[in-house]
Amino acid sequence: MSWETISTKKIKCPCGKGFIEQETKGDDWNRYENETPVILCEDCSKKYKIESKYFCPKPKHDYTIYYCVNKENEEEKIQLEL
Ligand SMILES: [Zn+2]
Protein backbone atom coordinates (compact mmCIF):
# COMPACT_ATOMS: atom_id res chain seq x y z
CA MET A 1 0.00 0.00 0.00
CA SER A 2 1.42 3.34 -0.94
CA TRP A 3 0.64 6.97 -0.65
CA GLU A 4 0.60 8.85 -3.90
CA THR A 5 0.42 12.52 -4.68
CA ILE A 6 -3.07 13.10 -6.02
CA SER A 7 -3.01 16.85 -6.35
CA THR A 8 -0.71 19.79 -5.94
CA LYS A 9 -1.94 23.23 -5.07
CA LYS A 10 0.21 26.15 -6.00
CA ILE A 11 -0.23 29.74 -4.96
CA LYS A 12 1.97 32.80 -5.21
CA CYS A 13 4.33 33.46 -2.34
CA PRO A 14 4.03 36.71 -0.35
CA CYS A 15 6.65 38.57 -2.46
CA GLY A 16 5.12 37.33 -5.72
CA LYS A 17 8.37 36.04 -7.24
CA GLY A 18 7.92 32.41 -6.34
CA PHE A 19 5.34 29.91 -5.18
CA ILE A 20 4.03 28.04 -2.22
CA GLU A 21 3.10 24.48 -2.99
CA GLN A 22 1.01 21.99 -1.09
CA GLU A 23 0.64 18.36 -2.01
CA THR A 24 -2.31 16.19 -1.18
CA LYS A 25 -1.56 12.52 -0.89
CA GLY A 26 -3.98 9.67 -1.06
CA ASP A 27 -3.83 5.93 -0.63
CA ASP A 28 -5.69 2.93 -2.03
CA TRP A 29 -8.38 3.26 0.63
CA ASN A 30 -9.41 6.74 -0.44
CA ARG A 31 -7.91 8.29 2.58
CA TYR A 32 -6.13 11.51 1.96
CA GLU A 33 -3.81 13.78 3.76
CA ASN A 34 -2.63 17.31 3.14
CA GLU A 35 1.07 17.80 3.40
CA THR A 36 2.55 20.87 5.02
CA PRO A 37 2.97 23.58 2.36
CA VAL A 38 6.50 24.28 1.14
CA ILE A 39 7.81 27.72 0.25
CA LEU A 40 9.41 27.53 -3.18
CA CYS A 41 10.94 30.98 -3.09
CA GLU A 42 14.42 31.78 -1.90
CA ASP A 43 13.52 35.15 -0.39
CA CYS A 44 10.34 34.03 1.28
CA SER A 45 11.76 30.80 2.68
CA LYS A 46 14.41 32.90 4.43
CA LYS A 47 11.88 35.39 5.69
CA TYR A 48 8.91 33.20 6.56
CA LYS A 49 8.15 29.91 8.17
CA ILE A 50 5.00 27.87 7.77
CA GLU A 51 2.70 27.51 10.71
CA SER A 52 -0.52 25.60 10.88
CA LYS A 53 -3.61 25.80 12.99
CA TYR A 54 -5.92 22.85 13.30
CA PHE A 55 -9.65 23.30 13.62
CA CYS A 56 -12.22 20.67 14.36
CA PRO A 57 -15.67 22.23 14.73
CA LYS A 58 -17.33 18.81 14.59
CA PRO A 59 -16.13 15.28 13.87
CA LYS A 60 -15.10 14.69 10.24
CA HIS A 61 -15.19 18.41 9.53
CA ASP A 62 -11.70 19.16 10.62
CA TYR A 63 -9.47 21.41 8.61
CA THR A 64 -6.13 23.09 8.89
CA ILE A 65 -5.27 26.68 8.10
CA TYR A 66 -1.72 27.50 7.15
CA TYR A 67 0.10 30.74 7.63
CA CYS A 68 3.35 32.28 6.52
CA VAL A 69 4.84 33.78 9.65
CA ASN A 70 7.65 36.30 9.53
CA LYS A 71 10.58 34.77 11.43
CA GLU A 72 11.65 38.13 12.82
CA ASN A 73 8.21 39.47 13.54
CA GLU A 74 5.70 36.83 14.54
CA GLU A 75 2.94 39.42 14.42
CA GLU A 76 3.17 39.33 10.65
CA LYS A 77 1.04 36.41 9.60
CA ILE A 78 -0.25 35.81 6.13
CA GLN A 79 -3.00 33.28 5.78
CA LEU A 80 -2.48 30.97 2.82
CA GLU A 81 -5.43 30.56 0.49
CA LEU A 82 -4.82 26.94 -0.32
ZN1 LIG B 1 8.64 35.04 -2.48
Q: What was the pLDDT predicted at 2?
A: 84
39-79 pLDDT, tens digit per residue, is 999 999 999 999 999 999 999 898 999 999 999 999 999 99
C-alpha 14 to ligand 1 mean position (Å): 5
**Total structural domains within the chain:** 1
As a whole number of angstroms, the distance between CA 63 and CA 71 comes to 24
Question: Does the pLDDT at position 13 exceed 90?
Answer: yes
The residue segments making up the domain with residue 61 are 4-79
C-alpha 48 to ligand 1 mean position (Å): 9
C-alpha 19 to ligand 1 mean position (Å): 7
Q: What was the pLDDT predicted at 1?
A: 65
